[in-house]
């Protein structure tokens, strides 16, 4: 694929291009608005680079197929939206439990249920965190622009390989369907799966290594025969019900993310140095929020913006640091206040929300109304 200097791109297209640049060579998906362009684009482009595109019978099997491909050593991805995301939860949990690197793109539309297929939303913030049964951490990224659809998808693959974890690209329908002129970066960092450092007889795919080092996942067929299961397993991968082993298995999932928050969490701060009010916004809403900051500053109001690029794990420490300086948090979202709830956890009684669930985008004026009403 040639990398052009200036391109007019669609968010979904940029996401698919980012995946190709990251080395993704198998896509399995099922058509659903507003994510379908990703599948359409890859059905054309993947065969050109010797990769595989397959349209599966549903989202359940799409998620299963990308896990299988990853186990065979190929970087893989699927893309979907709300109802399909619900169907993927079962195998997403499997990927988390069995520690299989893969990327799931969810271009959010209005819900619940069939909801508003052609209207954007940010209604899956909590589903992306808590949608599966049981408890496991997850990495979720939220792009705000077409360029970020490209760069963050590459980053998503890197995180997936680095932490042997499924990673979710949580795009809202606006970002996915937005057209922008972009300059793709000339140089990108691509992390590939590391080689194992031990011979097959010593290989334990789920070992707890000192310092939290993550065991490389050796592809099937390379002489490292091992067992992979969604059941709680011991370090060699076999099912176990021994208390200590159960705890080790589940704790490890938590700590491999928790111990690396500094590496995983990305945020963007805008005019926060002297701010009295901090807007917390992600995705397309962050674009409106940035504009609101500019308007507020023109009016002499000290307003800044915190944009979580990594939505999960949630940048709680950043928020807590900012909360020492600011008087109020304003949290605009295209849902009833899912990130708002997280902000409240860190800064109780000092946050207000701006919600919008009617399928229209949050406007800077709407955010300004809340800021002006706060009467500081």
Where on the chain is the footprint of other proteins (CB under 8 A)?
25-26, 28, 44, 47-52, 54, 56-58, 60-74, 76, 90-91, 94, 219-223, 225-231, 236, 238-239
In terms of CB distance, is 234 or 333 closer to other proteins? 234
Report residue 42 CA to chain centroid gap: 20
The Cα–Cα gap between 126 and 116 comes to 18
Name the region of 291 (left: φ>0; alpha: ψ -120 to 50; beta: rest). Answer: alpha
Q: How far is the first Cα of the chain from the last one, in angstroms, to the nearest whole number?
A: 53
CB 273 within 8 A of CB 292: no
| Least separation in angstroms between CB 222 and other proteins | 7
Tokens of 124: 């899956």
Q: Which is nearer to other proteins, 62 or 121 (CB)?
A: 62
Of the pair 54, 344, the CB lying nearest other proteins is at 54
Min separation Cβ 215 and other proteins, Å = 16
Our CB check for other proteins shows the closer of 44 and 365 to be 44
Nearest CB to other proteins, comparing residues 72 and 135: 72
* CB 17, min distance to other proteins, A: 16
Looking up tokens 């197929």 gives 65
Q: How many CA atoms lie within 13 A of 370 on its CB side?
A: 23
CA 32 distance to own-chain centroid: 19
**133: DSSP letter:** S
For residue 292, the minimal CB distance to other proteins (Å) is 44
Shortest CB 65 distance to other proteins, Å? 4
Is residue 332 within 8 Å of 353, Cβ to Cβ?
yes
User: What's the closest the beta carbon of residue 67 comes to other proteins, in angstroms?
Assistant: 6
Tell the smallest beta-carbon distance from residue 246 to other proteins (Å).
Answer: 15
C-alpha to C-alpha distance for 252 and 21, rounded to whole angstroms: 30
Decide whether 66 or 264 has the Cβ nearer to other proteins.
66
Indicate the residue among 103 and 326 with the shorter CB distance to other proteins: 103
What is the rounded CA–CA span in Å between residue 374 and residue 376? 6
Rounded distance, CA 243 to CA 135, Å? Answer: 17
Residue closer to other proteins by CB (options 74, 357) is: 74
Q: From the CB of 267, what's the least distance to other proteins, in Å?
A: 34
3-state secondary structure 200-221: HHHCCCCCCCHHHCCCCCCCCC
Phi/psi at 28 (5° precision): -125, 125
């Amino acid at each position: 694929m040639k990398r052009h200097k200036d391109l007019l791109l669609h968010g979904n297209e940029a996401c698919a291009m980012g995946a190709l640049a990251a080395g993704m060579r198998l896509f399995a998906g099922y058509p659903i608005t507003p994510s379908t362009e990703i599948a359409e684009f890859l059905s054309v482009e993947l065969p050109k680079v010797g990769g595989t595109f397959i349209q599966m019978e549903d989202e359940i099997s799409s998620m299963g197929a990308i896990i299988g491909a990853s186990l065979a050593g190929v970087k893989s991805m699927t893309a979907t939206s709300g109802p399909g995301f619900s169907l993927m939860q079962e195998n997403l949990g499997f990927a988390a439990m069995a520690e299989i690197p893969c990327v799931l793109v969810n271009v959010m539309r209005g819900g619940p249920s069939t909801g508003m297929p052609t209207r954007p939303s940010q209604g899956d913030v909590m589903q992306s965190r808590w949608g599966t049964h049981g408890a496991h951490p997850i990495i979720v990224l939220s792009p705000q622009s077409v360029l970020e659809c490209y760069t963050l998808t590459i980053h998503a693959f890197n995180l997936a390989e680095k932490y042997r974890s499924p990673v979710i690209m949580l795009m809202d329908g606006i970002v996915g369907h937005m057209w922008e002129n972009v300059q793709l970066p000339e140089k990108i960092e691509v992390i590939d799966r590391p080689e194992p450092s031990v011979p097959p007889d010593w290989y334990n795919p789920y070992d707890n290594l000192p310092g939290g080092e993550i065991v490389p996942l050796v592809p099937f067929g390379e002489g490292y025969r091992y067992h992979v299961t969604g059941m709680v397993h011991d370090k060699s991968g076999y099912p176990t019900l021994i208390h200590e082993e159960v705890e080790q298995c589940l704790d490890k999932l938590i700590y491999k993310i928790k111990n690396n928050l500094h590496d995983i969490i990305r945020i963007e701060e805008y005019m926060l140095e002297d701010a009295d009010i901090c807007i917390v916004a992600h995705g397309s809403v962050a674009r409106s929020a940035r504009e609101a900051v500019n308007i507020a500053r023109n009016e002499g109001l000290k307003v800044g913006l915190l944009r979580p690029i990594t939505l999960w794990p949630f940048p709680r420490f950043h928020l807590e640091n900012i909360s020492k300086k600011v008087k109020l948090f304003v949290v605009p979202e295209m849902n009833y206040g899912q990130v708002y709830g997280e902000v409240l956890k860190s800064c109780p009684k000092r946050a207000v929300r701006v919600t919008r669930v009617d399928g229209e985008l949050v406007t800077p004026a709407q955010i300004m109304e809340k800021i002006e009403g706060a009467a500081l």
